[in-house]
Structure 1
Amino acid sequence: MYRKSAAAVAAAMLVAGAAGAQVSTPATPRVGSPVISSPVGPPDEAPLTETQTLVPRDGPLPAMLSLEQALDEAEARSPTIIAAQARVEAAEARIRQAGYRVNPDLSIEIENFLGTGELSGLRQTEATVSLNQRLDLGGRRRARIAVAGATLASERLRLAIARADLAQSVRQQFARAVSARERLRIAQENEANAREVARVAGVLVAEGRDPPLRAVRARSAAAQASAELEAARAEEVSARGTLASLFGVVEPPAGVVGELLAPPPQSVDPRLSLEIRLAEAERARAESEVTAQLAQGRLDPAVGLGVRHVRETGDFALVGGISLPLQVFDRNQGNIAAARAEVRSAEATLANASASVAARARNAAIAVEAAEARVEALEGAGVPEAAEALRLAQLSYREGRASLLELLDAQNASRTAQLALVDARLSLANAIAELGRVAAQ
């Protein structure tokens, strides 16, 4: 089935793992719906096109839900995606805020009024109106923009991770819903077979060909099959309800359509995984924070220019000034040290993410290959041979050449083989979903 593709994926991962884990931070991740992005810059240098606000979809789900529809509905409805999208929008707004320059100060100063003697009243007042502007010689504005841009890159990657996690959850839960549907089908067939066996056993007992104990045993097996059918119905309803909860919807779809399996991704490069890219972005953000804190520790003078009016003579004059903070006690030493420590923490997180993602990808590829082998074995021999044995046992029992116990054993063997195939396909679907999650970029 997919054995060759899984082996190719495993080989590609080994090559990628040997190449190391140095990855550049991407500009814009893409998983699921596109995110509109633009060059990061201050408002007076480059306009920032905001991410489109995601309006959650409402209304009922499609009555019969396919996997493609489930992925689309989850993307359009999930509260998790809405929250992550809002955090991206907040980060974009902070970029705009970081790009604004410091506002100038307007000051009005009146001197020599309400004094004594010649300074009594307002006869010799001097009024000064001045405008003061703090100069950004230390690069604080540029550093703020860099921090905000790095934060936006991280939030966009977190949005991509939220979409990838949601897609994996939808694929796995959809597989569980399909598996529950197949279990219900098997339970319905088993219950129908058990009722038919009980009917035939009753006829044979009535004709004196079988002892009454055989009819009791057949009715017991039919009752057990009926109980298993009710449990399968409940499991199928629960699986559809859990799938709908991923969309933030209470009312589940009437059913799911489509097959359980999907082909695995053709190539997986752990170095390009979302977790490593996020760790890279967080390291870049920490480094930009160091630059910002260093800029906060530099001296930024403020200059002012104003007009003074002397009431006594009616003359006007210009006044100018410069002020400079004296960094006697606070030179931002603590914040600089903290920012540098955050860089070391981000580097350690990146190293841990590189090892974790490589192991996760390798394990997922191995799980896909093992599940494929199990599915192939059951599809090729296990289920067909069990079905043929059941058919022969039913014919033999009707002709009186096989006992009831032999027929019940054949039924149990066939049902067990079918359920094992459903479990194997579910395991394969989960492994493929995990491998696809690692491959998401």
Structure 2
Amino acid sequence: MRFLFVAATLAALAASSHATPAAAQASDPMPVGPPTPPGAAMAPTPLPARLTLAQTLEAADARSPRIAAAAAEVEAARGRRRQSSFRFNPEISVEIENFAGTGAYSGFNGRETTVAINQRLDLGERRHARMTLADAELIAAQYRLEIARADLALAIRDSFADAIAARDTLALARENEVRARELARVAQTLVDTGNEPPLRALRANSALVQTVADLRSAEAAERTARRSLAALIGLDTPPAELIDSDPAAMPEAIDPRTTLDVRLAETQRAIAEARLGSARAEGRVDPSVGVGVRQISETGDRALVASLSLPLPIFDRNQGNVAAARSDITASVARRDDAILTAQAEIANGEAQLASAEARLAALEGSAIEQAREAVRLAELSYRAGKSSLVEYLDAQQAYAETQAALIAARRARAEARAVLLRQAAAIPGGEQP
């Protein structure tokens, strides 16, 4: 009954991942578990100087050592699955009796030679237990491969969003530097004509120095962000330009029980069940039977011989491993429940963060940024005309810079929330696959 339960669990997991059920596999099995995306093993191609997020994700998947290692582990598990299907090898034995003795048994005249073939019978269902366990371990390896891809996609999306935010921050710093330089020139002109005291020119030059320092810092941060993204992809040279686009459609709802982590936890529970079945099978006794031919040299007669051997399970019935396997099942159930709770929390947090970021973006991209930009323009005109002070103009510039920075941060928060939700949705049928 335990084998039937484990086999049914594996079949359900394999079917949910569009894989061949374990029960339908032959001695040379077809792949089970999540399918490996086509082209994953293709050699990486040179990347364009201007990268989109989709190109970055594809390049990282093709070049990542983590993905290559996880894929190799799948192939290793597939080899172990094939090995588990083989039966016990027969044994051939040759036995010579009654030779080199005394009297009639001196020399080889009285020898009896027996050639026999012995076969261990699998009455304890060891082969079935091995195959069931190997099926579950293969599914788990393939889910780990998909999780590695999903985690890599999450890291790429986060790093790409950092680089985009650094790019936009650099553009804002350049804009502020141009405006501060023009302000310093206008202030100096007004001082030279006697319309402003010298203190105003000093204040404007101080603001210029600060904006230049901010510009240099933004340039360094932007280069660092592109280098970090390149390292994550596996490139020595960072891309020259990033194109801000994420065409991935967000799922309407995500069921925590269908996430990759929960599916892996379910598979690990099936592994624990299979190990219990294997431990029980190892505790059973398997007889060995043999049949052979005996040659009697003295008379030249031949006769058949048969044998039967059976271990006596007096001391070792594998009871310790059976008890350990039961405890492993309890632990795997707890880990599955924890995976469900973790997925629920991450999905809920991601949805809340996405809603908050979308609300901030709606406010900032609407009237807020336009009003701040218009306030700077009017303050500049008023200052040039001598109708407002330099402080008022600087305040308007500061307000505009803060609004732009808030807009960049909101876009970064939205990208981060999308990345988290897409990571959780990686196992949803019909959703984006990592």
Q: Normalising by structure 2, what TM-score?
A: 0.90
Question: In the alignment, which residue of structure 1 is the partner of 2:282?
Answer: 296
Question: How far 1:28 sits from its partner (Å)?
Answer: 6.4
Match of 1:404 among 384, 390, 400: 390
Which residue matches 1:26?
13
| In 2, Cα distance between equivalents of 1:262 and 1:209 | 57
Distance in 2, matches of 1:164 and 1:215, equals 55
Q: Tell me, which stretches of 5 or more residues in structure 1 are unaligned?
A: 1-21, 31-35
Q: Which residue, out of 374, 393, 414, partners 1:388? A: 374
Q: Which one of the candidate residues 138, 144, 148 is aligned to 1:152?
A: 138
User: Structure 2 vs 1, CA of residues 240 and 138 (structure 1 numbering), >3 Å: closer, same or farther?
Assistant: same
Aligned to 1:427: 413
Q: Using the alignment, how far apart are the partners of 2:26 and 2:292 within structure 1?
A: 27
Q: Is the 8 A contact 1:303 1:321 kept in 2?
A: yes
What is the TM-score when the length of structure 1 is the normalising length? 0.89
Quick one: which of 69, 78, 84 aligns to 1:92? 78
Whether the aligned pair in 2 keeps the contact of 1:261 and 1:425 (CA below 8 Å) is: no
Query: 2:230, 2:236 within 8 Å by CA — same for their partners in 1?
Result: yes
Query: Helix, strand or coil for the counterpart of 1:378?
Result: helix
1:202 has 2:188 as partner: yes
For structure 1, which segment, 156-165 or 414-423, has the greater mean C-alpha deviation from structure 2 after superposition? 156-165
| Distance change >3 Å, CA 37–CA 351, structure 1 → 2 | closer
Quick one: structure 1 residues 79 and 257, their matched pair in 2 at CA, closer, same or farther if it must change by over 3 Å? Answer: same
CA contact (8 A) 1:78 1:247 kept: yes
Call closer, same or farther: CA 1:392–1:59 in 2, change over 3 Å. Answer: same
Question: 1-side partners of 2:127 and 2:418: how far apart?
Answer: 47
Which consecutive unaligned segments of at least 5 residues does structure 2 have?
1-8, 428-434
Distance of 1:389 and 1:236 partners within structure 2: 28
Name which of structure 1's ranges 428-437 and 142-151 shifts more when overlaid on structure 2: 428-437
SS in 2 for 1:209: coil
Equivalent residues of 1:111, 1:127 under 8 A apart: yes
Q: Which residue of 2 aligns with 1:102?
A: 88
Where 1:308 maps in the other structure, the secondary structure is strand
Deviates more, 1:251-260 or 1:366-375: 251-260
Q: Distance in 2 between matches of 1:422 and 1:58?
A: 33
Matched length: 415
Output aligned runs, 1:307-318, within 5 Å. Answer: 307-318=293-304
Instruction: Kindly provide the amino acid, as one letter, of the partner of residue 422 in structure 2.
Output: G
Aligned with 1:367: secondary structure? helix
Residue 19 of structure 1: aligned partner: none
Q: What is aligned with 2:6?
A: none
2:50 matches 1:64: yes
Q: Could you tell me which amino acid in structure 2 is paired with residue 179 of structure 1?
A: A
Give the equivalent residue in structure 1 for 2:64.
Answer: 78
Instruction: Give the match for residue 211 of structure 1.
Output: 197
SS, match of residue 13 in structure 2: coil
What displacement does 1:116 show? 2.6
Distance 1:338 1:142, change over 3 A: same
Match of 2:404 in 1: 418
SS state at 2:124 partner: coil
What's the secondary structure of 2:14's corresponding residue? coil
Listed as ranges, the matches of 1:39-58 within 5 Å are 39-40=21-22, 45=27, 47-48=29-30, 54-55=40-41, 57-58=43-44
Q: What one-letter code is carried by the residue in structure 1 that aligns with 2:93? A: S
Are 1:39 and 1:46, in contact at CA under 8 Å, matched by a contact in 2? no
Identify which of 277, 286, 291 aligns with 2:272: 286
1:235 corresponds to: 221
2:11/2:23 contact within 8 Å kept: no
Deviation by residue 1:341-386 (Cα, 9 ceiling, x = unmatched): 1001111111112222112211111111111111111112321111
Structure 2 residue aligned with 1:267: 253
Letter in 1 for 2:306: G
Q: Give the drift of 1:308.
A: 1.3
Q: Is the 8 A contact 2:80 2:134 kept in 1?
A: yes
- State the SS of the aligned residue for 2:233: coil
Q: Deviations over 1:109-128 (max 9, x none)?
A: 11122223332222212111
Letter of the 1:272 counterpart: T
Is the Cα contact below 8 Å between 2:112 and 2:294 reproduced in 1?
Answer: yes
Q: Is the 8 A contact 1:65 1:257 kept in 2?
A: yes
SS in 2 for 1:101: coil
Matched, 1:131 2:113: no
Alpha-carbon separation, structure 2, partners of 1:260 and 1:193: 32
AA in 2 matched with 1:401: K
Aligned counterparts of 1:206 and 1:183: Cα–Cα separation in 2? 34
Deviation at 1:44, TM superposition (A): 5.2
Backbone CA RMSD of aligned residues: 2.3
Would the aligned equivalents of 1:371 and 1:425 in 2 still touch at CA under 8 Å? yes
Q: Distance in 2 between matches of 1:29 and 1:231?
A: 50
